[in-house]
């Protein structure tokens, strides 16, 4: 990498000037860059090599990731479709270092960002589905399977239209499956098709299952198969029942035909497009200006530029419901044994956890611990705990069945034992400090029944893990990520300095002023907030089943500095 003579900023391949970091994912970092040869902005994907520990545990992993990145570029270069991200160029350094992929710059957010603000309308979701399906049909016609269709991999142009990206784990029909020869599961657990979980290569129908699950999440507002751990989620994908949609309207019959575990029974791409067209007509025709309304016009994968604060760590699951309880533990044990004995969960998974080295979908930046037969986590003696944070948000509205919600609206008075009280949240904060030896947090998420904290791995560290406090116990939920030294809004802070004594009055004010009718969920987020000069800020949320959302933004001194009132 060289530097520009003009301003000293880095130049890649002597041509692409790095401007700003847009975001990071499982396979690397995406930069906004300026192509000085053609005088245009592009997105430059810097493929991230694994850390030395990962390479030591998986010899050859560095070369695997490099090969995967090159394959992504070649797969995308074969496609020309308005809903597939365009690859312009690939830079392969002569010294054998990680490649750079030069792509079109999509000005917009992702579907994951959009869903963090609440579910889509049925008409929005159908329009989205037809666009993503068009991209998949073009890819399938070229012999390319995507294998990781999920909300984070669908970008939304500011001027309108969805774009399918991140073909980094795509498999070409004429290529081999060497990157999965070890048995590692490549793809995101929640959205992967069950036949791929069983170790089968799958076919285009497997991508359509993933699209169906994406649309289910988009309209229903939660993921029906997400569980406390990655392994438990894989088990659920295999054969847990999928609750009937209750909010999907004309889309519901399409989802019923699509989300079947026998790929031979799913509609093919052509039939699915016809079914979506019929659902669109039944829903009242194409939505007016739906593509432009998908997401705010901000650079993709750059949540600090979004107009609202970051959502809770699991945006696809309801925070106010528990997961379905397994009917019989022996059945769950047999299903776990079947997975562990197959290609999916190889010895590498049992030693380290396959999801540690693969792209993470949920936006939460972590992986769950391996699960035991009863769905609980396993770990060291001093950190055994109840199920993880995401487990508490996987049940459909109304409990474990698929009917209408019977959740009563919360009042300004928290339930007994709630953590949404000064004493409750202080107890959790003290427990985190005692368990980790660290007195600062990157973010804190407070719910009625539990608290989630992103905590530096040691005082002053640039890395952090995610922890949960529940039922008097602290449990480590998994790896969090890296704290950027250049981002003021990511720096840890002392949570004891937040205005916890003001919670009762803030709760009453939120109920009174945010205009969220029949609120079914309330929670708190403490974080450094870009819109409050990166100062530690307490966000008091109210949401309901109809996606109405409001919050109070409160400075550490107790002053309300901003208010979002539900429309």
Catalytic residues: 148
Q: Where are the alpha helices (DSSP H) in 173-229?
A: 194-197, 204-220
CA gap 119, 518 in Å, rounded:
17
Q: Where are the alpha helices (DSSP H) in 502-565?
A: 503-513
Which of 441, 449, 433 is closest to 389 using CA atoms? 449
Q: Where are the alpha helices (DSSP H) in 283-421?
A: 329-340, 347-352
The β-bridge partners of 108 are 157
Order of strands, sheet of 473-482, starting from the edge strand that comes earlier in the sequence: 473-482, 463-470, 450-456, 443-446, 521-529, 535-543, 549-555, 560-564
In a 3-state reduction of DSSP, which class is residue 136?
Answer: helix
Provide long-range contacts, Cβ within 8 A and 24+ apart, for 45-49.
Answer: 45/69, 45/100, 45/101, 45/102, 45/103, 46/98, 46/100, 47/98, 47/99, 47/100, 47/101, 48/24, 48/98, 49/97, 49/98
Indicate the pairing of strand 154-157 with strand 108-110. Answer: antiparallel
CA gap 240, 138 in Å, rounded:
32
Sign of CA dihedral 345, 203, 213, 400: negative
What does the DSSP 8-state code read for residue 38?
Answer: T
Beta carbons of 99 and 292 less than 8 angstroms apart: no
Question: What does the chain come to in residues?
Answer: 567
What does the DSSP 8-state code read for residue 555?
Answer: E
Ordered DSSP codes for 422-480: HHHHHHHHHHHHHHHS---BSEEEE-SSEEEEEEESSTT-SEEEEEEEETTEEEEEEEE
Phi/psi at 270 (5° precision)? -65, -45
Which of 560, 521, 559 is closest to 541 using CA atoms? 521
Which of 112, 14, 91, 111 is closest to 47 using CA atoms? 91
Which of 153, 123, 86, 77 is closest to 362 using CA atoms? 153
The β-bridge partners of 517 are none
């Amino acid at each position: 990498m060289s530097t520009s003579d003009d301003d000293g900023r880095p130049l890649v391949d002597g041509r692409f000037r790095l401007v700003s970091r847009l975001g990071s994912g499982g396979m690397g970092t995406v930069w906004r860059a300026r192509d000085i040869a053609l005088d245009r902005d592009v997105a430059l994907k810097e493929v991230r090599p694994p850390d030395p520990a990962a390479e030591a545990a998986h010899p050859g992993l560095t070369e695997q990731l490099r090969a995967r990145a090159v394959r992504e570029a070649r797969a995308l270069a074969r496609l020309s479709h308005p809903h597939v991200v365009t690859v312009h160029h690939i830079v392969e350094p002569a010294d054998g270092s990680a490649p750079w992929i030069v792509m079109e710059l999509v000005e917009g957010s992702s579907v994951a960002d959009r869903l963090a603000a609440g579910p889509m309308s049925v008409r929005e979701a159908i329009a989205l589905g037809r666009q993503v399906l068009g991209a998949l049909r073009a890819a399938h016609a070229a012999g390319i399977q995507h294998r990781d269709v999920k909300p984070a991999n669908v970008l939304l142009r500011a001027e309108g239209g969805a774009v399918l990206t991140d073909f980094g784990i795509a498999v070409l029909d004429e290529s081999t499956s060497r990157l999965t020869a070890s048995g590692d599961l490549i793809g995101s657990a929640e959205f992967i098709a069950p036949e791929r979980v069983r170790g089968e290569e799958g076919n285009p129908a497997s991508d359509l299952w993933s699209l169906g699950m994406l649309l289910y999440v988009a309209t229903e507002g939660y993921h029906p198969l997400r569980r406390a751990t990655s392994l438990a989620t894989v088990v659920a994908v295999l054969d847990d029942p999928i609750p009937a949609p209750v909010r999907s309207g004309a889309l519901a019959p399409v989802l019923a035909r699509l989300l079947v575990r026998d790929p031979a029974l799913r509609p093919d791409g052509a039939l699915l497009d016809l079914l979506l067209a019929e659902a669109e007509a039944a829903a009242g025709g194409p939505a007016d200006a739906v593509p432009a309304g998908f997401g705010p016009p901000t650079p993709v994968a750059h949540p600090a530029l979004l107009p609202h604060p970051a959502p809770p760590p699991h945006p696809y699951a309801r925070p106010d419901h528990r997961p379905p309880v397994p009917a019989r533990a022996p059945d769950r044990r047999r299903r776990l044994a079947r997975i562990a004995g197959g290609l999916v969960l190889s010895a590498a998974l049992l030693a380290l956890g396959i999801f540690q080295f693969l792209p993470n979908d949920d936006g939460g930046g972590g992986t769950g611990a391996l699960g035991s037969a009863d769905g609980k986590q396993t770990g060291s003696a001093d950190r055994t705990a109840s199920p993880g944070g995401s487990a508490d948000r996987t049940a459909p509205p109304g409990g474990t069945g698929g009917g209408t919600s019977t959740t009563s609206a919360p009042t300004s008075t928290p339930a007994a034992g709630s953590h949404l009280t000064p004493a409750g949240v202080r107890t959790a904060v003290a427990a985190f400090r005692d368990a980790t030896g660290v007195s600062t947090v990157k973010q804190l998420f407070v719910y009625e029944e539990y608290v989630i904290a992103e905590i530096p791995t040691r005082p002053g560290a640039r890395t952090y893990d995610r922890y949960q406090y529940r039922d008097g116990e602290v449990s480590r939920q998994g790896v969090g990520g890296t704290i950027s030294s250049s981002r003021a809004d990511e720096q840890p802070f002392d949570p004891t300095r937040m205005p916890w004594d003001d919670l009762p009055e803030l709760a009453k004010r939120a109920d009174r002023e945010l205009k969220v009718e029949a609120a079914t969920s309330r929670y708190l987020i403490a974080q450094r907030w870009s819109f409050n000069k990166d100062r530690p800020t307490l966000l008091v949320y109210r949401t309901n089943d109809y996606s109405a959302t409001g919050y109070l933004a409160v400075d550490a001194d107790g002053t309300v500095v901003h208010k979002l009132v539900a429309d």
